[in-house]
A and B are shown apart, each in its own frame.
Chain A
Amino acid sequence: MSLKDLVTPFSVWKRALEKPYTNRKPLDSRPGADRYRGFHINDVDKCIGCGTCESICQNEAIDLVPVEGRKTKHGDSGLRPKVDYGRCCWCALCVDICPTGSLGMSNEYVWVDSDPEVFRYVPGHDEKPWNACEKGYRRAEGYDLLEPKRVEMPMLDFSESQKSFVEMVQGYSKEQAMEEADRCIECGICIATCPAHMDVPAYIDAIRRDDLADGLRTVYEANPLPASCGRVCSHACEHVCAMKHKGEAISIRWLKRYIVDQIYANDYQQFLDAAAPENGRSVAIVGSGPGGLAAAYYLRLIGYAVTVYDANEAAGGMLRYGIPEYRLPYDQVDKDIEYIRSLGVTINQNVRIGADVSFQEIYDGNDAVFFSTGLSDPYALEIPGEDLRGVIPGLTILDEVTKGQKPDIGDSVVVVGGGNVAMDAARTSRRYGAEVTILYRRREVDMPADEEEIHESQGEGVTLITQAIPIRIEKGETRRLKLIWGKAEMVPDDRGGRPRPRLIEGSEEVIECDTIVPAIGQQADYKFLPEEIAGRLEFAKGMVTVNEFKQTGDTKIFAGGDIANRKRDAISAIANGHSAAKGIDIYLTNFAAGGRA
């Protein structure tokens, strides 16, 4: 031991002159760092209660719970996360994974209470001093556990697509589908919004597992027309997808299509449930659109003998006659229908009920009747000159094309309307080489057509004129016709609805064309119903009134599809058919036990 060893420790004394680094009590001024992981905060209006925070929590510290004053609605479960600080480990993975970005953490960390029960609350809903805290942990820019962008769908480019009826959307490859399926967070918010309540997360999971047979089974549990729906479904599910809050919704529709596209029609029977043996009861179905076919499928599955009557040459209804082939190829419609037919469903084509066979006859000859006859009568424009040659309703053009006839449209076409039929008629005309203009009364944002249809029609060279009101049609000078139209201004609706178009007086413009295509909607035609039966049914605003099981005023008659719901899309018709099948089964099992009525 040296003298140095004894002396050096005394150098500690110099520290007596230094400022101490302890904090003065009370400790009220030591905020957590800017990104400190303190107590949770949640923007409860932004939160959709998807429960992803709950599923990623490794400690089960989060419960989704109903909170007062918050209603469940489409795209929002109405539940909100409740955090138990007896379990929370402050990892903030819940913040990282939150698809809406509503969840965060404050930098507050001091909370003293003698009651352990209080350390459990719904962030953002329960009043806490840190609710408005700007600081604290948030997911950093450049770090994301979820992928906001969807896998791009291979499409024909517009220069190609407008030349033919080849399907424009080409479908995902296996790698693309698996990558897209991987984006799904399995919250299941979409299930409530899908009219048919398909178990979307389950079939997307099947894609990830590459067990497409299982995926097909899941799909068929709620939708027997998946090849068609996988292409043209109105995909309400995607509008409420939790991932949409982050970026782009999961391509639910196209993932469904992927499953169906990978399985040959002939292999369906080895993966799907076989139909039960016939139970001695029979159901007649009028109309072979999606509603009728869905009812037929589910009824046949549980043992009913099903006969479908359809006025057209081929089954499918609007799927076949209302949607052009570049969106939904006929062989895909056939794939769905042929499987239903293979279960033993009889489909009688070219039979017009009320003309070839009376409704009374099928009513008397079956235990129940379901009709889903759709909307076949186009609304007229109700302007002068509508009866001139060259005014052809949109549905007529689509119908003719399906039947293999070349529509008489000439070189220039003006389509009036903003729905999907208008888009289909316009794009179909484009494929016959015509110059096409669409006139729509309101603004582009008001158009009822699917966004992608509007986008694609413009891409294919269709001119869109909005806030345009047709005034009259006259014989043209250089062309077959001329349409006189006026500009509209948008005025607020007195009844609180969306703004309405009002004609600006004296703003007349003229457009010359060969064909004018009214496509402003269509209505139902109930002429096939005998008066006596029609008298027992109720109608309101052109629709048949039905109960939840789609039963009409006549207990034996059920109705669905566009004539019975306001959504007027294929998937709602399918859901109606499914509900009706359940209803018919309950009715025939419990209330008409005596057999044939």
Chain B
Amino acid sequence: MSSDAVIFEKIAVAVAFSPRCEAILAEARLLQQTFGSNMVFIHVGKNSLQEELYLKHLLHRFGLDQPENKTIWKEGDPVDVILEICQQEKIDLLVAGALEKESLLKYFMGGVSRQLSRKVKCSLLMLTEPNIHPKGLTQIVVEGTDHPKTENTIAVAVEVAKAYHAKKVNIIQESDLSKLALIRSDELKENEAGLRKKQLLKEEDEKLKEILRCTDCGNLEVKVERIEGKPGYVISKFARDCQADLLVVSSPDKQLNLLDRVFPHDIEYALSDLPCNLLIVHSKEQD
């Protein structure tokens, strides 16, 4: 299983010696095989001989101890260190384990993987249920909202789906009609309101059609669906309801902070309660 288009040349894996460490490395192995990427393993903490030997053993066990792969040990704040290494090593994809839901306090304070998702300048894969025997991906849900980043996000999602031989990709157009409500409250006839809504959505539909026309989807079953509601929340709910394996969204436009958690929007809805594995696509063109 290997992708023709190498979308993640260099993948970094945040390694913590947690109970899920082995499962995350097993998933990393599958990623390397799928994309033919070079790997960087990052561990933030003191370099003890015992842990070093254990990591070497694990990397050997999963066939990840090739000479082109690299292991970095560094002390410091986990988030800062990982971000720094990702930038230095020009990482394309960072892989980290993440709990589906964090305690309220931890969520507001920010656990490591959540903090990374808000700050990292490369794509990030948050694995909620890594498996020692990776199952691959069957169903992928992708954000198809009208945004300059969407084209790249869909392209990456399609490549990932093809590489993993996924069966289905659902592209979700989230329509936040709250703006329409502003006008409706003024003085629109019902048919006029419908017309306005159509006008608003027609433009979005055409843009998405154009994106899909330019994307080579191969034999992949691609389904486009429009759901009304709060962006971020509706796609997250959809991914949960259809038991998707992976949710693919664009990276946030600006660095998110505590206020974005207090007044959540977009990706914060997904981060507050991850419906499945989450891939946040960072478009290099946007840098």
Are A and B co-members of a single complex?
no
Footprint of B on A, CB under 8 Å?
A: none
